[in-house]
Amino acid sequence: MTLHSFRHAFTRFGELAAHPAAFGIVALYAVFWIVFDRESFNWHGVATLATWIMTLFITRTEHRDTQAIQAKLDELLKAQEGARGELRTLDDQEPEEIVEHRQQVRRQEPN
């Protein structure tokens, strides 16, 4: 597995964590936990599940907000004459590629 494919898989995993099905997976995990190891399902187990669910809520909210911002920016770039079209697809790239793009733009700015 190359570094690029690893980064892509890791990014995709983060996107999947924001999917509503992730809540179902945690619920299914809780059911299996209770069925197969009821003795270990105590307050610590409840706290663990609550932490996972809160993390999923936060991830989902951040994903929703990010997608809304991207949609607004896409619309602004589409409406703005002279805007570079490739900027609309910048969010499809890996985070490291976006950082590199930003650094290139900053190096090109006049001081």
User: Does residue 105 register a pLDDT over 70?
Assistant: yes
Identify the pLDDT of residue 31: 95
- Displacement of CA 15 from its chain's centroid (Å): 4
Q: Two tokens at 85? A: 């079209």
Q: DSSP code of 39? A: G
User: Does residue 82 register a pLDDT over 90?
Assistant: no
For residue 9, give Cα distances in angstroms to 6, 15, 63, 67. Answer: 5, 10, 17, 19
Identify the pLDDT of residue 111: 62
Q: How many domains does the chain have?
A: 1
Identify the pLDDT of residue 84: 79
Q: pTM value?
A: 0.69
Q: Two tokens at 78? A: 């589409």
Helix (H, G, I), strand (E, B) or coil at 37: coil
Write out the H or E segment, with its range, that includes residue 26: helix 21-36
User: Does residue 91 register a pLDDT over 80?
Assistant: no
User: Does residue 71 register a pLDDT over 70?
Assistant: yes
Residue 27 domain boundaries: 3-108
| Distance in angstroms (rounded) separating the CA atoms of residues 61 and 84 | 29
Identify the pLDDT of residue 49: 94
